[in-house]
Amino acid sequence: MSLGELRVRNLRCIEAAELELHSGCNLIWGGNGAGKTSLLEALFLLGRGRSFRTRHSEHLIRRGAEGLTVFGRSVSGLHAAGVEFDRQRGAQAKVNGAVLGSLAELTLTFPVQVIDPEIHKLIEEGGRRRRRWLDWAVFHVEPRFGDWWLRYARALRQRNAALKARSDARPWEVELVDLGQRISEARGAVVEALQPHWREIMGTLDCPEGELHYARGWSAALSLSEALDGSRARDQLRQLTHPGPHRADVLIQVGGKAAREVLSRGQQKLMAAALILAQLRLLRDRSATPPTLLLDDPAAELDSTRLAAFVGEISRLGCQLVVTSLAPEIPGFRAPDRMFHVEQGRISPV
Protein backbone atom coordinates (compact mmCIF):
# COMPACT_ATOMS: atom_id res chain seq x y z
CA MET A 1 0.00 0.00 0.00
CA SER A 2 1.04 3.62 -0.47
CA LEU A 3 0.99 5.42 2.84
CA GLY A 4 -1.32 8.43 3.07
CA GLU A 5 -1.06 9.34 6.74
CA LEU A 6 1.84 9.10 9.18
CA ARG A 7 1.79 9.96 12.89
CA VAL A 8 4.89 9.82 15.06
CA ARG A 9 5.28 10.25 18.81
CA ASN A 10 8.54 10.34 20.78
CA LEU A 11 10.91 8.96 18.15
CA ARG A 12 14.45 10.33 18.57
CA CYS A 13 14.22 14.15 18.37
CA ILE A 14 10.58 14.11 17.23
CA GLU A 15 8.08 14.66 20.03
CA ALA A 16 5.02 14.70 17.76
CA ALA A 17 4.51 14.81 14.00
CA GLU A 18 1.66 14.26 11.57
CA LEU A 19 2.17 14.06 7.81
CA GLU A 20 -0.26 13.67 4.91
CA LEU A 21 1.79 11.87 2.27
CA HIS A 22 1.28 11.72 -1.48
CA SER A 23 1.26 8.42 -3.37
CA GLY A 24 3.95 9.89 -5.65
CA CYS A 25 7.08 11.78 -4.57
CA ASN A 26 7.38 13.30 -1.09
CA LEU A 27 10.33 15.54 -0.13
CA ILE A 28 11.46 16.05 3.47
CA TRP A 29 14.08 18.79 3.70
CA GLY A 30 16.03 20.50 6.45
CA GLY A 31 19.49 20.89 7.96
CA ASN A 32 21.73 18.23 9.40
CA GLY A 33 20.35 16.79 12.64
CA ALA A 34 16.89 18.31 12.08
CA GLY A 35 15.09 14.95 12.11
CA LYS A 36 14.77 14.07 8.41
CA THR A 37 16.26 10.59 8.71
CA SER A 38 14.26 9.98 11.90
CA LEU A 39 11.08 10.33 9.82
CA LEU A 40 12.41 7.74 7.38
CA GLU A 41 13.10 5.50 10.38
CA ALA A 42 9.48 5.91 11.48
CA LEU A 43 8.28 4.83 8.03
CA PHE A 44 10.66 1.87 7.99
CA LEU A 45 9.55 0.92 11.49
CA LEU A 46 5.96 0.85 10.29
CA GLY A 47 6.81 -1.65 7.57
CA ARG A 48 9.51 -3.73 9.26
CA GLY A 49 9.06 -3.35 13.01
CA ARG A 50 12.67 -2.16 13.35
CA SER A 51 15.01 0.65 12.33
CA PHE A 52 17.46 0.55 9.41
CA ARG A 53 20.01 2.44 11.53
CA THR A 54 20.17 0.41 14.76
CA ARG A 55 19.37 -3.08 16.03
CA HIS A 56 18.40 -1.65 19.43
CA SER A 57 14.86 -0.33 19.20
CA GLU A 58 15.03 1.25 22.65
CA HIS A 59 17.54 3.74 21.20
CA LEU A 60 14.74 5.16 19.05
CA ILE A 61 12.71 6.37 22.04
CA ARG A 62 13.02 10.11 22.66
CA ARG A 63 15.03 11.00 25.74
CA GLY A 64 12.75 11.32 28.76
CA ALA A 65 9.88 9.34 27.19
CA GLU A 66 8.83 5.83 28.21
CA GLY A 67 7.91 4.70 24.72
CA LEU A 68 7.26 5.66 21.12
CA THR A 69 4.39 5.13 18.71
CA VAL A 70 4.16 5.19 14.93
CA PHE A 71 0.83 5.00 13.12
CA GLY A 72 0.10 4.89 9.42
CA ARG A 73 -2.92 4.69 7.16
CA SER A 74 -2.98 3.80 3.48
CA VAL A 75 -3.93 6.32 0.78
CA SER A 76 -7.09 4.27 0.17
CA GLY A 77 -7.94 4.33 3.89
CA LEU A 78 -8.51 0.56 3.86
CA HIS A 79 -5.41 -0.38 5.88
CA ALA A 80 -4.04 1.02 9.12
CA ALA A 81 -0.92 -0.12 10.94
CA GLY A 82 0.67 0.89 14.21
CA VAL A 83 3.84 0.06 16.11
CA GLU A 84 4.54 0.77 19.79
CA PHE A 85 7.84 0.39 21.63
CA ASP A 86 7.85 0.62 25.39
CA ARG A 87 10.99 0.53 27.53
CA GLN A 88 9.37 -1.97 29.88
CA ARG A 89 7.01 -4.05 27.72
CA GLY A 90 8.91 -4.07 24.43
CA ALA A 91 7.20 -3.97 21.02
CA GLN A 92 3.66 -4.46 19.82
CA ALA A 93 2.24 -4.08 16.32
CA LYS A 94 -1.34 -3.84 15.11
CA VAL A 95 -2.98 -3.91 11.69
CA ASN A 96 -6.55 -2.65 11.44
CA GLY A 97 -6.78 -2.92 15.22
CA ALA A 98 -5.70 -6.57 15.45
CA VAL A 99 -2.52 -7.36 17.42
CA LEU A 100 0.08 -9.18 15.30
CA GLY A 101 1.90 -12.26 16.51
CA SER A 102 5.13 -11.10 14.88
CA LEU A 103 6.53 -7.74 13.79
CA ALA A 104 7.50 -9.42 10.52
CA GLU A 105 3.82 -9.51 9.53
CA LEU A 106 3.89 -5.73 9.09
CA THR A 107 5.71 -6.08 5.79
CA LEU A 108 2.62 -7.61 4.15
CA THR A 109 0.64 -4.49 4.97
CA PHE A 110 3.27 -1.85 4.22
CA PRO A 111 6.21 -3.10 2.13
CA VAL A 112 9.02 -0.58 2.41
CA GLN A 113 12.67 -0.48 1.35
CA VAL A 114 15.43 2.08 1.93
CA ILE A 115 18.56 3.36 0.19
CA ASP A 116 20.63 5.37 2.64
CA PRO A 117 24.29 6.48 2.97
CA GLU A 118 25.11 3.21 4.74
CA ILE A 119 23.87 1.07 1.83
CA HIS A 120 27.45 -0.07 1.09
CA LYS A 121 27.22 -2.30 4.19
CA LEU A 122 25.10 -4.67 2.11
CA ILE A 123 28.32 -5.43 0.21
CA GLU A 124 30.86 -4.81 2.95
CA GLU A 125 29.45 -6.62 5.97
CA GLY A 126 28.67 -10.28 6.70
CA GLY A 127 25.86 -12.53 5.59
CA ARG A 128 23.27 -11.47 8.18
CA ARG A 129 22.47 -8.20 6.41
CA ARG A 130 22.28 -9.88 2.99
CA ARG A 131 20.02 -12.67 4.34
CA ARG A 132 17.66 -10.00 5.65
CA TRP A 133 17.74 -8.20 2.30
CA LEU A 134 16.99 -11.42 0.41
CA ASP A 135 14.31 -12.68 2.78
CA TRP A 136 12.30 -9.48 2.44
CA ALA A 137 11.87 -10.21 -1.27
CA VAL A 138 11.26 -13.94 -0.74
CA PHE A 139 8.60 -13.09 1.84
CA HIS A 140 6.63 -11.24 -0.88
CA VAL A 141 7.29 -13.63 -3.75
CA GLU A 142 6.62 -16.89 -1.84
CA PRO A 143 3.57 -16.45 0.45
CA ARG A 144 4.44 -19.55 2.52
CA PHE A 145 7.96 -18.38 3.31
CA GLY A 146 7.07 -16.51 6.50
CA ASP A 147 5.45 -19.59 8.02
CA TRP A 148 8.35 -21.80 6.94
CA TRP A 149 10.89 -19.47 8.52
CA LEU A 150 9.04 -19.17 11.84
CA ARG A 151 8.70 -22.95 12.10
CA TYR A 152 12.33 -23.48 11.08
CA ALA A 153 13.52 -20.98 13.69
CA ARG A 154 11.47 -22.77 16.36
CA ALA A 155 12.91 -26.17 15.41
CA LEU A 156 16.41 -24.67 15.37
CA ARG A 157 15.96 -23.30 18.89
CA GLN A 158 14.75 -26.70 20.09
CA ARG A 159 17.72 -28.50 18.53
CA ASN A 160 20.15 -25.99 20.03
CA ALA A 161 18.49 -26.38 23.43
CA ALA A 162 18.89 -30.16 23.16
CA LEU A 163 22.57 -29.72 22.27
CA LYS A 164 23.12 -27.51 25.32
CA ALA A 165 21.33 -30.02 27.54
CA ARG A 166 23.51 -32.76 26.00
CA SER A 167 20.40 -34.70 25.04
CA ASP A 168 19.43 -36.26 21.69
CA ALA A 169 18.96 -33.49 19.11
CA ARG A 170 17.77 -35.78 16.31
CA PRO A 171 14.00 -35.54 17.05
CA TRP A 172 14.07 -31.94 15.80
CA GLU A 173 15.98 -32.69 12.62
CA VAL A 174 13.14 -34.04 10.48
CA GLU A 175 11.32 -30.71 10.56
CA LEU A 176 14.59 -28.79 10.40
CA VAL A 177 15.61 -30.60 7.21
CA ASP A 178 12.21 -30.33 5.53
CA LEU A 179 11.77 -26.62 6.23
CA GLY A 180 15.44 -25.82 5.63
CA GLN A 181 15.23 -27.30 2.15
CA ARG A 182 12.07 -25.34 1.30
CA ILE A 183 13.60 -22.09 2.56
CA SER A 184 16.79 -22.67 0.58
CA GLU A 185 14.94 -23.47 -2.64
CA ALA A 186 12.74 -20.38 -2.32
CA ARG A 187 15.76 -18.16 -1.68
CA GLY A 188 17.71 -19.65 -4.56
CA ALA A 189 14.79 -19.10 -6.95
CA VAL A 190 14.55 -15.43 -5.99
CA VAL A 191 18.30 -14.89 -6.43
CA GLU A 192 18.03 -16.34 -9.93
CA ALA A 193 15.00 -14.15 -10.69
CA LEU A 194 16.93 -11.07 -9.53
CA GLN A 195 19.95 -11.72 -11.76
CA PRO A 196 18.75 -10.16 -15.06
CA HIS A 197 17.33 -7.08 -13.29
CA TRP A 198 20.53 -6.57 -11.31
CA ARG A 199 22.82 -6.90 -14.33
CA GLU A 200 20.74 -4.49 -16.40
CA ILE A 201 20.61 -1.88 -13.62
CA MET A 202 24.36 -2.16 -12.97
CA GLY A 203 24.95 -1.48 -16.66
CA THR A 204 22.69 1.56 -16.53
CA LEU A 205 24.51 2.90 -13.45
CA ASP A 206 27.93 2.20 -15.04
CA CYS A 207 28.79 -0.23 -12.23
CA PRO A 208 31.58 -2.85 -12.50
CA GLU A 209 30.21 -6.14 -13.76
CA GLY A 210 29.46 -8.43 -10.82
CA GLU A 211 28.28 -11.94 -10.03
CA LEU A 212 25.58 -12.98 -7.59
CA HIS A 213 25.57 -16.45 -6.01
CA TYR A 214 23.38 -17.99 -3.33
CA ALA A 215 25.34 -19.98 -0.72
CA ARG A 216 22.71 -22.03 1.10
CA GLY A 217 24.56 -22.52 4.40
CA TRP A 218 25.86 -26.06 3.94
CA SER A 219 27.91 -27.95 1.37
CA ALA A 220 26.40 -28.12 -2.10
CA ALA A 221 27.60 -31.74 -2.27
CA LEU A 222 25.42 -32.81 0.68
CA SER A 223 21.75 -32.86 1.63
CA LEU A 224 20.92 -30.92 4.79
CA SER A 225 20.35 -34.22 6.59
CA GLU A 226 23.83 -35.40 5.60
CA ALA A 227 25.33 -32.05 6.60
CA LEU A 228 23.74 -32.28 10.06
CA ASP A 229 25.08 -35.82 10.48
CA GLY A 230 28.56 -34.72 9.43
CA SER A 231 28.51 -31.75 11.79
CA ARG A 232 27.06 -33.60 14.78
CA ALA A 233 30.32 -33.86 16.75
CA ARG A 234 31.13 -30.17 16.22
CA ASP A 235 27.56 -29.15 17.04
CA GLN A 236 27.66 -31.15 20.26
CA LEU A 237 31.02 -29.68 21.23
CA ARG A 238 29.93 -26.08 20.61
CA GLN A 239 26.27 -26.67 21.54
CA LEU A 240 25.13 -24.93 18.38
CA THR A 241 23.73 -25.97 14.99
CA HIS A 242 26.16 -25.02 12.23
CA PRO A 243 24.72 -26.18 8.86
CA GLY A 244 21.44 -24.75 7.63
CA PRO A 245 19.80 -21.77 5.93
CA HIS A 246 20.37 -19.65 9.06
CA ARG A 247 24.02 -19.57 7.90
CA ALA A 248 23.24 -18.78 4.26
CA ASP A 249 24.74 -15.87 2.35
CA VAL A 250 24.45 -14.09 -0.97
CA LEU A 251 27.94 -13.96 -2.42
CA ILE A 252 28.61 -10.76 -4.37
CA GLN A 253 31.74 -11.00 -6.48
CA VAL A 254 33.68 -9.08 -9.12
CA GLY A 255 36.09 -11.07 -11.27
CA GLY A 256 35.78 -14.07 -8.95
CA LYS A 257 36.75 -12.06 -5.85
CA ALA A 258 34.54 -10.72 -3.06
CA ALA A 259 33.22 -7.34 -4.20
CA ARG A 260 34.17 -5.71 -0.89
CA GLU A 261 37.84 -6.55 -1.59
CA VAL A 262 38.05 -4.90 -5.02
CA LEU A 263 35.50 -2.09 -5.11
CA SER A 264 35.81 1.42 -3.73
CA ARG A 265 33.26 2.66 -1.20
CA GLY A 266 31.46 4.59 -3.94
CA GLN A 267 31.32 1.53 -6.21
CA GLN A 268 30.01 -0.58 -3.35
CA LYS A 269 27.21 1.92 -2.83
CA LEU A 270 26.24 1.81 -6.50
CA MET A 271 26.27 -1.99 -6.56
CA ALA A 272 24.20 -2.20 -3.37
CA ALA A 273 21.71 0.36 -4.71
CA ALA A 274 21.41 -1.80 -7.84
CA LEU A 275 20.53 -4.77 -5.60
CA ILE A 276 17.73 -2.79 -3.94
CA LEU A 277 16.38 -1.53 -7.26
CA ALA A 278 16.50 -5.03 -8.76
CA GLN A 279 14.52 -6.29 -5.78
CA LEU A 280 11.89 -3.58 -6.26
CA ARG A 281 11.66 -4.38 -9.96
CA LEU A 282 11.02 -8.03 -9.15
CA LEU A 283 8.32 -7.14 -6.62
CA ARG A 284 6.71 -4.77 -9.10
CA ASP A 285 6.40 -7.66 -11.54
CA ARG A 286 5.36 -10.34 -9.02
CA SER A 287 3.32 -8.47 -6.39
CA ALA A 288 0.08 -6.52 -6.52
CA THR A 289 1.34 -4.19 -3.76
CA PRO A 290 4.03 -1.74 -4.92
CA PRO A 291 6.52 -0.96 -2.16
CA THR A 292 7.39 2.46 -0.81
CA LEU A 293 11.02 3.49 -1.36
CA LEU A 294 12.83 5.70 1.17
CA LEU A 295 15.82 7.68 -0.13
CA ASP A 296 18.08 9.40 2.38
CA ASP A 297 19.90 12.26 0.61
CA PRO A 298 20.33 10.31 -2.67
CA ALA A 299 22.28 13.04 -4.48
CA ALA A 300 25.03 13.30 -1.87
CA GLU A 301 27.60 11.00 -3.48
CA LEU A 302 26.56 10.55 -7.12
CA ASP A 303 27.96 12.48 -10.07
CA SER A 304 25.44 14.04 -12.45
CA THR A 305 25.58 11.17 -15.00
CA ARG A 306 25.04 8.40 -12.47
CA LEU A 307 22.43 10.45 -10.62
CA ALA A 308 20.42 10.84 -13.83
CA ALA A 309 20.61 7.07 -14.46
CA PHE A 310 19.66 6.35 -10.84
CA VAL A 311 16.66 8.69 -11.00
CA GLY A 312 15.58 7.13 -14.28
CA GLU A 313 15.58 3.64 -12.75
CA ILE A 314 13.56 4.83 -9.76
CA SER A 315 11.05 6.66 -11.96
CA ARG A 316 10.37 3.47 -13.92
CA LEU A 317 9.43 1.65 -10.71
CA GLY A 318 6.33 3.81 -10.29
CA CYS A 319 6.39 3.45 -6.49
CA GLN A 320 5.75 5.90 -3.69
CA LEU A 321 8.91 7.86 -2.81
CA VAL A 322 9.90 9.60 0.40
CA VAL A 323 13.15 11.51 -0.13
CA THR A 324 15.29 13.63 2.20
CA SER A 325 17.42 16.58 1.14
CA LEU A 326 19.31 19.49 2.70
CA ALA A 327 17.55 21.90 0.32
CA PRO A 328 13.92 22.36 -0.82
CA GLU A 329 14.63 20.46 -4.02
CA ILE A 330 15.93 17.06 -5.05
CA PRO A 331 18.79 17.32 -7.56
CA GLY A 332 17.96 15.24 -10.62
CA PHE A 333 14.36 14.51 -9.60
CA ARG A 334 11.20 16.19 -10.84
CA ALA A 335 9.38 18.59 -8.54
CA PRO A 336 7.95 16.67 -5.56
CA ASP A 337 4.21 16.14 -5.23
CA ARG A 338 4.37 17.07 -1.55
CA MET A 339 7.03 18.78 0.54
CA PHE A 340 7.76 19.05 4.27
CA HIS A 341 10.29 21.14 6.19
CA VAL A 342 11.96 19.76 9.32
CA GLU A 343 13.68 21.90 11.92
CA GLN A 344 14.70 20.70 15.41
CA GLY A 345 12.28 17.80 15.22
CA ARG A 346 9.30 19.93 14.17
CA ILE A 347 7.68 19.13 10.81
CA SER A 348 5.57 21.49 8.74
CA PRO A 349 4.09 21.10 5.23
CA VAL A 350 5.37 23.53 2.61
Nearest 5°: the CA angle 269, 274, 276 is 95
Within 8 A by CB and 6+ apart from 200, the residues are none
pLDDT of residue 118: 94
**What pLDDT, in 10s, does the model give residues 123-152?**
999 999 999 999 999 999 998 999 999 999
Among candidates 125, 100, 118, 117, which has minimal Cα distance to 47?
100
Domain limits, the chain: 120-286
Distance from C-alpha of 124 to C-alpha of 29, rounded to nearest angstrom: 29
pLDDT of residue 303: 81
pLDDT of residue 46: 94
Within 8 A by CB and 6+ apart from 151, the residues are 175, 179
In SS3 terms, 249-283 reads as EEEEEECCEEHHHHCCHHHHHHHHHHHHHHHHHHH
pLDDT interval class at 268 (50, 70, 90): very high
Mean pLDDT of 48-69: 93
Q: What's at 310, amino acid-wise? A: F
157: part of which helix (H) or strand (E)? helix 145-164
pLDDT of residue 128: 95
Q: What's at 70, amino acid-wise? A: V
**Residue 56 scores a pLDDT above 90:** no
pLDDT of residue 304: 82
Within 8 A by CB and 6+ apart from 331, the residues are 299, 307, 325
pLDDT interval class at 286 (50, 70, 90): confident
**Residue 334 scores a pLDDT above 80:** yes
Nearest 5°: the CA angle 14, 18, 21 is 120
**What pLDDT, in 10s, does the model give residues 6-30?**
999 999 999 999 999 999 999 999 9
Distance from C-alpha of 112 to C-alpha of 177, rounded to nearest angstrom: 31
**Residue 301 scores a pLDDT above 90:** no
Distance of CA 91 to the CA centre of its chain: 18
Q: Is 192 exposed, middle or buried (0-12, 13-18, 19+ CB in 10 A)?
A: exposed
- Rounded to whole angstroms, the maximal C-alpha distance in the chain is 64
CATH class belonging to 120-286: mainly alpha
Q: What's at 321, amino acid-wise? A: L
Distance from C-alpha of 169 to C-alpha of 237, rounded to nearest angstrom: 13
Q: Could you tell me which residue, 307 or 184, shows the higher pLDDT?
A: 184
The backbone region for 63, taken as left when phi is positive above 0, alpha when psi lies in -120 to 50, beta otherwise, is beta
- The number of beta carbons lying within 10 Å of the beta carbon of residue 265 is 11
**What pLDDT, in 10s, does the model give residues 60-109?**
999 999 999 999 999 888 889 999 999 888 899 999 999 998 888 888 88
**Residue 332 scores a pLDDT above 90:** no
* Share above pLDDT 90 across residues of the chain, in percent, rounded to a whole number: 85
pTM of the model: 0.94
Among candidates 308, 307, 281, which has minimal Cα distance to 293?
281
pLDDT of residue 148: 96
Distance of CA 335 to the CA centre of its chain: 27
- Kindly state the DSSP code that residue 42 receives in the 8-state scheme: H
